[in-house]
Amino acid sequence: MKSLNPFGRYLILLVVGLLIAGCGGWSYSPPLRGNYYSSHVTLPDAQGTAPSASASAFNQALAHDYADFAGVLLNREGDYEDSDYYARKSLAAGNGAVVPPENVGNWAIVTPWDAKEGYPKILNDARARLVKVLDAGARERQPQLAARTQVDFDCWVTHMEKSWWTAMTSPCHNEFFANLAQLEGRPVATAHEFRVYFNFNKYNLTPEARQILQRVVAQAKADPNMRIMLVGHTDLAGTDAYNMGLSHRRADAVRAQLQHDGVAGGRIDERWVGKRQPPVPTPNGVREPRNRVVVITLE
């Protein structure tokens, strides 16, 4: 597709802005998603417009959290379309509209061919739990936590469409289930295993990996007797010797970050197995992304 000249972009932005301004009956469920051009209008509006005083405490918190999420999508991830979409959800909530958690069926979430988990089912089951507790009064009892939990769910769904193998261990996913347990009145279980994933043939930490390691560090600092075991893995592409070295470098990268963040090196044990013990068994040579991982166990 050819790029539009600046004047053409301006015209489209103007038309979209007029449509949004005049479209009080806009619906986000199911078909309409965000628009690249209108994000330049909707995000500043969402961030700069105070929720209506007549909106419930839940809707006011929801408007704030959706605006923050829209800002992250644009400024950290360069995702203009989804930023626009969630900015409009923020504005709708701030105006007092009923804004439900995302319909999973509106997102292109595909279960990997060799995965036993049905990711759409996992998401739909989680959404059902969320809707149940919201409808049972969580919006009124704990409006800020309820809003945060809904936005965490939408964040998880959004990132599942982009990269399921990082989204299933992402901060959005983990915070959603921790917050949902609080809303349901369940004890919040302490995680004892974390997984840090890597890109193909790489051992540098991704931003998602660093966020996960921050949670590991927090738990380690809360329990000075805790030990940390790191096991480095690779996928099954390449030679045994090369992958053994790559898994070593990945585990070393995790160890270095933990130590940088204040965990004593004497509390960290490390081993590496290369391609010999893949978390997801595949034929030799398969570039399975879930095998490019360091498994972190807290003991």
- Whether residues 289 and 207 share a domain: the answer is yes
Q: At which of 48, 66, 99 does a domain end?
A: 99
> Distance (Å, rounded) from C-alpha 156 to C-alpha 100?
15
- Whether residues 217 and 286 share a domain: the answer is yes
Number of domains into which the chain is organized:
3
**Residue 151, Cβ density class (10 Å: 0-12 exposed, 13-18 middle, ≥19 buried):** buried
- Whether residues 197 and 235 share a domain: the answer is yes
pTM for the model: 0.60
pLDDT at 245: 95
Read off the tokens for 240. Answer: 């045994």
Read off the tokens for 135. Answer: 């409808």
pLDDT at 244: 94
Q: Regarding beta strands 228-233 and 268-274, do their DSSP bridges make them parallel or antiparallel, or are they unpaired?
A: parallel
- Whether residues 131 and 170 share a domain: the answer is yes
| CB distance 256 to 272 below 8 Å | no
| CB distance 218 to 288 below 8 Å | no
User: Which domain does 72 fall in, by range?
Assistant: 29-99
The CATH number of the domain holding residue 279 is 3.30.1330.60
- Whether residues 215 and 286 share a domain: the answer is yes
| CB distance 227 to 299 below 8 Å | yes
- Whether residues 124 and 95 share a domain: the answer is no
Q: At which of 68, 99, 130 does a domain end?
A: 99
- Whether residues 179 and 203 share a domain: the answer is no
Task: Fill in the amino acid letter for 146.
Answer: A
Q: Where are the beta strands (DSSP E) in 205-288?
A: 228-233, 268-274
Task: Fill in the amino acid letter for 273.
Answer: V
**Residue 239, Cβ density class (10 Å: 0-12 exposed, 13-18 middle, ≥19 buried):** exposed
Residue 110, in any domain of the structure: no
Residue 12, in any domain of the structure: no
pLDDT at 12: 44
Give me the tens of pLDDT residue by residue for the chain, a chain 299 residues long: 333 444 444 344 444 444 433 333 334 444 457 777 787 888 899 999 899 999 999 999 999 999 999 999 998 889 999 999 999 999 999 999 999 999 998 898 876 654 556 788 889 999 999 999 999 999 999 999 999 999 999 999 999 988 877 788 777 888 898 889 889 987 655 568 888 889 999 999 988 888 889 989 998 998 888 999 999 999 999 999 999 999 999 999 999 999 999 999 999 999 999 999 888 888 899 888 888 999 999 88
- Whether residues 124 and 90 share a domain: the answer is no
| CB distance 127 to 153 below 8 Å | yes
| CB distance 63 to 46 below 8 Å | yes
Q: Regarding beta strands 293-298 and 268-274, do their DSSP bridges make them parallel or antiparallel, or are they unpaired?
A: unpaired
Residue 22, in any domain of the structure: no
Q: At which of 160, 189, 218 does a domain end?
A: 189
